[in-house]
Structure 1
Amino acid sequence: MALDELTEELARSAAAGDHRALGELLARIEPDVMRHCARILPYHQDAEEASQDTLLAVARNIGRFEGRARFSTWLHIVTANCARTTYRSLKRRAAEQTSDELPMQKPDARRVSVIAGSRLDLLDAMEALEADKPDLAQALVLRDIVQLDYNEVAEQLNIPLGTAKSRIHQARKYVQGVLGEDYR
């Protein structure tokens, strides 16, 4: 999400309470948010749901944007969190629907995209990491999903650079362990 300076200025104005700026900001970021959600969630309808949740979260929480970092960084984090929350919600709903039915069968490999399957496995692994070690998950999201460099991760988390690198390394090893040998 490479946002321009006008978008950054609109974000600062919206954070200060300018409702017109907020409306314009939401209209400007909507296509980028949808593209980012689509990279995380394999199905278009799921990505649309996450995108709408992200825009709502931005509208509700823009006052919390302090301007210490770029708005695009803040937006990346909000988008990734909303996409992961949407995924967890969909997974929970699917489990509730199948609890009274026959056990779920594995999807037919000929009908499921390898990329989509991999992303779902990765989302499961990220969910496990977040539940077990949230500090590591936060660092990994900033580095590998938001694509901040190591210095920016350290700055966002207010930790030393070496600690940021260590957390990211540990998080990657944890995720690899959850994903198994096929992903190493």
Structure 2
Amino acid sequence: MQFLEDNHYIELARQGDTKAFGSLVQKHQRLVYTLALRMLKNTEEAQEAAQDTFVKVYQSLGSFEGKSKFTTWMYRVVYNECAGRLRKTKRQLTWIEDLMEKSGEPADFLDGLEILQRDERAALVKKGIELLTPAEAVVLTLFYFEELSIKEIVSITGHTESNVKVQLFRGRKHLEENLKKLSSKELIGLL
């Protein structure tokens, strides 16, 4: 389904058009669920958090001023929702979820070996991300996979710009170390 710009749906939803808000939900549900799952590490909790996020977004849509992108504002809502849930249960933040999505190319363009190599790399990156601190994992995810700017990440996480940059630097370094360790373990397992 092709979606229009978020502002189109926002204006209609503000006027009471629930179908327009439903389109916003459809357009962004995967993203909201993915972030919730990365923070909560539980599919049922992530689904509940995603639902609660959209309820809060709907209730607060009138206060969205448009100073930032809608997705940045929505990321902040889901981030706060999940952080609140984690505070309530006093669990440590952890992140999961495949960070490398399967290619959108049809299978006949890829041979079996390429598919296998891509899947192995994705699994290795996922394991490497799971070993990062939660702060590093979320910042790397938002910067590289969601392609958000440093300023948008600052807006979402509430951290300072310098803190986000430090987390990106350390996260890249730690991810590289994790991937080296994991790949050498896998090679030893093959022998």
Q: After TM superposition, list the pairs within 5 Å mapping 1:98-137 onto structure 2.
A: 118=131, 122=134
Contact 1:142 1:153 (8 Å CA) reproduced:
no
Change (3 A) 1:118 1:54: farther
Q: Distance in 2 between matches of 1:58 and 1:32?
A: 14
Contact 1:54 1:78 (8 Å CA) reproduced:
yes
Contact 2:142 2:153 (8 Å CA) reproduced:
no
How far is the alpha carbon of 1:89 from its aligned partner?
2.0
How far is the alpha carbon of 1:90 from its aligned partner?
2.6
1:166 maps to 2:162: yes
Say which SS state the counterpart of residue 69 (structure 1) adopts.
coil
Q: In the alignment, what sits opposite 2:150?
A: 150
How far is the alpha carbon of 1:86 from its aligned partner?
1.7
Q: In the alignment, what sits opposite 1:65?
A: 64
How far is the alpha carbon of 1:78 from its aligned partner?
1.3
Q: Distance in 1 between matches of 2:66 and 2:30?
A: 22
Q: Distance in 2 between matches of 1:47 and 1:142?
A: 15
Point out where structure 2 has 5 or more consecutive residues left out of the alignment.
92-126, 172-176, 179-191
Q: Which amino acid aligns with 2:71?
A: S
Contact 1:80 1:146 (8 Å CA) reproduced:
no
1:122-143 Cα distance to aligned partner (Å, 9 max, x none): 2xxx6xxxxxxxxxxxxx9995
Q: Which amino acid aligns with 1:56?
A: V
TM-score w.r.t. the length of structure 2 is 0.50
Query: Which segment is superposed worse, 68-77 or 144-153?
Result: 144-153
Contact 2:3 2:27 (8 Å CA) reproduced:
no
Q: Distance in 1 between matches of 2:128 and 2:138?
A: 22
Contact 2:33 2:50 (8 Å CA) reproduced:
yes
Q: Distance in 2 between matches of 1:143 and 1:15?
A: 31
Task: Report % sequence identity.
Answer: 24
Q: CA RMSD in A?
A: 4.0
- Give the paired residue count: 130
Q: In the alignment, what sits opposite 2:87?
A: 88
